[in-house]
Amino acid sequence: MASGTYETNSLGYKLSFKGPTSVEDYDQKAGRVGACLEDACDNTIYRGTLPEWQDEFAKAVETKYGQTRGVDQAATERAKSRAKDPAKINDVPEKVKAFVQRVTAGMSEVQKAEMTALAQQVANSITVDPSPSKRVRGPDKALLAKADSLLTLPADQLQAKIDKYLSKVEGFELETDDADKPERNSLARLIGQYLDILLAET
């Protein structure tokens, strides 16, 4: 049985919250059977499945419509301008959202329906998988704490950090919130993948 105390980080602070002590306790408090499993799957989808789907969907769109995902020139130039050796900076890929919007611009309703069907077709090929090998895609507490720290920076300094990370992590789609700020978990995943690449290069 769980202890009922759950640790996390926010705004640079380490926090602990009291919560349900079992699956049954969670379901009872949520007011429906299966709520704990549903919420756990939603969390896994958000942390790991959606980033995987975005990558595969972009590839499927390229194949089906013969259009190549472009380069985010502005982000690439920002990254190169801050690098000690600009030649080592990879192009920052066009965001998947921007790529899809570019491809769908001017499409008929029938064509847009085909794109929707393609999106689900790609989703059908991916299974929500909470196994340890998949969970590493989600950010751990240290990465979340780092993301929280970065989110306290002035906007220009935060953007400089993001550009540096994106210049290394090819194809990463950074999620944003309603205020167009980097989403905490997505930023933490970006940091983690960036650190993994640095480690592989050493």
pLDDT tens, position by position, 64-92? 999 999 888 887 887 777 667 778 777 87
For residue 34, is pLDDT > 50? Answer: yes
Among the residue ranges 19-28, 49-58, 131-140, 151-160, the one predicted with the least confidence is 131-140
pLDDT given at position 123: 95
The verdict on residue 12 lying in a domain is no
Phi, psi (degrees; rounded to nearest 5) at 150: -65, -35
For residue 9, is pLDDT > 70? Answer: no
Check the CA dihedral 98-99-103-104 and report its sign.
negative
The verdict on residue 67 lying in a domain is yes
For residue 107, is pLDDT > 90? Answer: yes
Question: How many separate domains does the chain show?
Answer: 1
Coil/strand/helix, residue 138: coil
Question: Model's pTM, two decimal places?
Answer: 0.62
Q: Which residues make beta-bridge pairs with 176?
A: 182
The verdict on residue 86 lying in a domain is yes
For residue 15, is pLDDT > 70? Answer: yes
Pseudo-torsion of CA 187, 188, 191, 197, nearest 10°?
-120
Enclosing H/E stretch for 18: strand 13-18
Which residue segment(s) compose the domain that 196 sits in? 17-129+137-201
The verdict on residue 174 lying in a domain is yes
For residue 115, what pLDDT band results from cuts at 50, 70 and 90?
very high
For residue 182, give the DSSP letter: B
pLDDT given at position 139: 60
For residue 95, give the DSSP letter: P
For residue 158, is pLDDT > 60? Answer: yes
The verdict on residue 6 lying in a domain is no
